[in-house]
Amino acid sequence: MTAGNGLEGRLVFVTGGGSGLGAATCQLLAREGAVVAVADLDAGAAGKVARAAGGSAFAVQVDVGDETSAPAALEEAAERHGGLFALVNNAGTDQTLPIDELSVAQWDRVMRTNLRGPFLLSRTAASIMKRSGGGHIVNIASTAAKRAWPNAAAYHASKWGLLGLSHALHAELRPHGIKVCALIAGGMRTPFLLDRFPDIDRSTLQDPSNVAQTIKHVLLQPEGTAISEVMVLPVRETSWP
């Protein structure tokens, strides 16, 4: 992993990299010279993004909730590329149902991706980064971690949990030179929203590339500074005052 303060030659592992914010982040960081692992459950989508990103981007098929294969994929990437500069826990899913219609299996699926995955990968990233003297973990939360609306109990629980995990890791890992940031993103023009809510007003949403710029900003803070939480909203955000 190349030394220095920039992204050039440094490994950034992005989950959910096959679409939406993950894809925008991979493309931006690859243009900045980072070695980008485009990690996604959909191997075809990950490969497509990696090819489009160019540079040193490469695809990795990852089920973030699998306690054996997900950490192993992160370890392998870090070993191959001389360390790990940053982990971006971006993979997410939702189940929009009233609580009395939400099955245990659906609840577990949301928690597995949105909270168990970041725990598993952050645990492995912390171990790798402690050996190398530091790094970054960026957890992609949501305004759903700050307020609530109907028919999204599992999603809210997972994102509030992710926000708590992020701040706990910030306190625990900062003495080791590991900076942990919760990035709270408002609505974006991504398949996550557009595919489920085709009638949504796109003018109230932000381009995911704008949020990717904030991720880059977090990763490029000076050595003595950490951003523990940042909120990025569209100007016409409807889920936040």
Q: How far is 51 from 36, CA to CA, in rounded Å? A: 11
Question: What proportion of the chain, given as a percentage, has pLDDT over 70?
Answer: 94
Q: How far is 203 from 235, CA to CA, in rounded Å? A: 9
Note the pLDDT tens digit of each residue in 50-96.
999 999 999 999 999 999 999 999 999 999 999 999 999 999 999 99
Catalytic residue annotation: 155
239 — pLDDT class (breaks 50, 70, 90): low
Cβ burial of 231 (10 Å; 0-12, 13-18, 19+) is middle
Note the pLDDT tens digit of each residue in 158-190.
999 999 999 999 999 999 999 999 999 887 677
Does 222 have pLDDT greater than 90? yes
Helix ranges, the chain (H): 20-31, 43-53, 69-80, 104-111, 117-132, 153-173, 191-194, 208-219
Specify the pTM: 0.93
